[in-house]
Structure 1
Amino acid sequence: MQIDGGVVVGVDGSASSVRALQLADEEAQRRDALLHVVRAWSIRTAPRPTDCPPNTIPSMDAFHETVAADTRQVVAGQLAEQRAAAAHIHAVHSPPPQALLSASKGADLLVVGHRGRGGFAGLMLGSVAEQCVRHAACPVLVVRPSV
Structure 2
Amino acid sequence: MGTDTARPRVVVGVDGSPSSHEALRWAVRYADLIGGTVDAVSAWELPGAYGWSALAVDIDFEEAGVRQRLNQGLSDVLGAEGASSVRALVMRGNPVEVLLATAEGAEALVVGSRGRGGFARALLGSVSQHVAHHATCPVVIVRPKSRGGRPGSPA
Alpha-carbon distance in structure 2 between the residues aligned to 1:121 and 1:127? 12
Max radius of gyration: which structure? Answer: 2
2:9 equivalent to 1:15: no
Shift of 1:9: 0.4
2:38 equivalent to 1:39: no
Alpha-carbon distance in structure 1 between the residues aligned to 2:36 and 2:11? 10
Aligned positions of 1:5-84 closer than 5 A? 5-44=8-47, 59-84=58-83
RMSD: 1.9
Shift of 1:67: 1.1
The answer (yes or no) to whether the contact 2:46–2:57 under 8 Å persists in 1 is: no
- Where in structure 1 are there 5+ consecutive unaligned residues? 45-55
Provide the residue aligned with 2:87 in structure 1.
Answer: 88
Tell me the matched-pair count.
134
The TM-score, its normalising length taken from structure 2, stands at 0.79
Alpha-carbon distance in structure 1 between the residues aligned to 2:72 and 2:144? 21
The TM-score, its normalising length taken from structure 1, stands at 0.83
Alpha-carbon distance in structure 1 between the residues aligned to 2:93 and 2:81? 29
Provide the residue aligned with 1:144 in structure 2.
Answer: 143
3-state SS, counterpart of residue 80 of structure 1: helix
- Where in structure 2 are there 5+ consecutive unaligned residues? 48-54, 147-155
Alpha-carbon distance in structure 1 between the residues aligned to 2:68 and 2:144? 25
Residue type at the aligned position of 2:144: P
Shift of 1:61: 1.9
Residue type at the aligned position of 2:126: S
Q: Deviations over 1:52-103 (max 9, x none)?
A: xxxx955312221221121011001111332211211111111111111111
Identity, in percent, stands at 38
Shift of 1:126: 0.8
3-state SS, counterpart of residue 136 of structure 2: coil
